Amino acid sequence: MTREFPRRPAPTIYDVARVAGVATSTVSRAFARPGRVNADTAARIRAVAEDLGYRANPIARALSTSRTRMLAVMISDITNPFYAELVRWTQLAAQEAGYVILLVDAQESDTLERETLERLLPVVDGIVIGSSRMSDSALRTIAKQKPMVVLNRELTGVPSVVTDSLRGMRRAVEHLGGLAHDTITYVAGPDASWADGMRWRALREAGHELDLVTRRIGPFAPTFAGGLKAAGELAAYPTTAVIAYNDPMAIGVIRGLERAGLRVPEDVSVIGFDDTLMSRLVRPALTTVAAPLREMGATGVRDLLAVLNGAQAETGHAFVLPVRLVVRGSTAQCSRKSTSPALGTTNVSGSAS
């Protein structure tokens, strides 16, 4: 047996118009452009609307204006606190502008991304890509159809907001160098992650300049479990210093090393990326490169809305947000010389970047 929702159909603009004794267009105006309607009439309309409990139907409005005031936000793993926070700030910024968020948690699947986006495309005014495993060209195809902004990734032709990985990595390497480490292993995240490539490149450069040996293992899943797994491989290629793609991985690495009988930071120093809340909670607390998440969300939404409102998109180069190194307990003076031969910059496992 079907229960009907709602019991009584919602009042329409026709009802308001009839009761107020004006044309529907006047009612419409009274809400959209109060200036363009007689003050008294407007007041009367408002009163009637209030009285009837009238709320403009957003669907109907969207059909005639082709504006839904909805934004799609896509991320690859809502369970990662980094994205959870990003979503929070994105939704806050959107909400302040009267927009609502359609969340797509792609769960690390590019097929899922693509299909969902395809479905959502006609419904949203714009798209925020918080992270994506899709190819550049696939993303550009989408960007051609709707205004889009990309976070954490540079995409020529599409406005993007990134953090200063280069400088962040540089700081991390300087920090480790200052602690007398001479070899750093990078624990890589997903191949499809733009930030991952960026970070590894930045590490190599910094290592080169500061005369440290750099290595890379991976790719691994960008999660605690991925880090745990990486710790296993790490045992085969010992280093005194590790930089992981992100915080969950770094924490996984720490736990994995501990299981293998190594102590952090006494035997191995570990650095993460993002400074999510959990990096403060674990013991040892994680040294990490902090990203300004709130700013990233806000900037992304702001840029997107600007484009929606007719601004020329700034697609020349990504908007770069500053980062900073937060030093906590997971890094310490190097206590022994690296046991591995100095291999120079090399990739010891997984696919090359």
In the complex, the smallest distance separating the C-beta of residue 6 from DNA, rounded to whole angstroms, is 11
CB 313 within 8 A of CB 147: yes
By CB under 7 A, the residues from 66 to 95 that bind DNA are 66
State yes or no: residue 57 binds DNA (CB under 7 A): yes
> Which one of DNA, a second copy, none is in contact with 278 (Cβ closer than 5 to 8 A by kind)?
a second copy
Partner from DNA, a second copy, none binding residue 14, C-beta < 5-8 Å depending on class: DNA
Q: Structure tokens of 241?
A: 């210093």
What minimum distance in Å lies between the beta carbon of 262 and a second copy?
A: 15
- Shortest Cβ distance from residue 336 to a second copy (Å)? 24
How distant, in Å, are the alpha carbons of 13, 139, 335 from that of 265?
Answer: 67, 41, 10
**Least distance to a second copy from the beta carbon of 213, Å?**
30
DSSP assignments along 151-202, one per residue? ESS-BTTB-EEEE-HHHHHHHHHHHHHHTT--EEEEE---TT-HHHHHHHHH
Cα separation values, 329 from 82, 240, 244, 287, 296, Å: 20, 15, 15, 6, 27
Q: Is 326 in the site for a second copy (CB under 8 A)?
A: no
Which residues, in sequence order, are bridge partners of residue 105? 75
Q: Is 6 in the site for DNA (CB under 7 A)?
A: no
Of residues 275 through 294, those in contact with a second copy by CB under 8 A are 277-278, 280-283
3, 5, 6, 9: which one contacts DNA (CB under 7 A)?
9
Cβ(133)–Cβ(109) below 8 Å: yes
Cβ atoms of 215 and 185 closer than 8 Å:
yes
Amino acid occupying residue 84: A
Q: What residues does 289 pair with on adjacent strands?
A: 273, 325
Nearer to a second copy, 113 or 164 (CB): 113
132 belongs to the binding site for a second copy (CB under 8 A): no
Q: Is the previous residue joined to 322 through a cis bond, with omega within 30 degrees of 0?
A: no
Cβ closest to a second copy, residue 145 vs residue 156: 145
Closest separation in Å from C-beta 162 to a second copy: 22
Q: Which stretch binds DNA (CB under 7 A): 53-61, 108-116, 155-163, 232-240?
A: 53-61
Position 43 contacts DNA (CB under 7 A): no
Dihedral of the CA atoms 63, 310, 128, 64 (nearest 10)?
A: 0
Nearer to a second copy, 33 or 119 (CB): 119
Handedness of CA 133, 137, 142, 148 (dihedral sign): positive
Residues of this chain that interact with DNA (CB under 7 A) are 9-10, 12-14, 21-26, 28-29, 31-32, 36-38, 40-42, 54-57, 60-61, 63-66
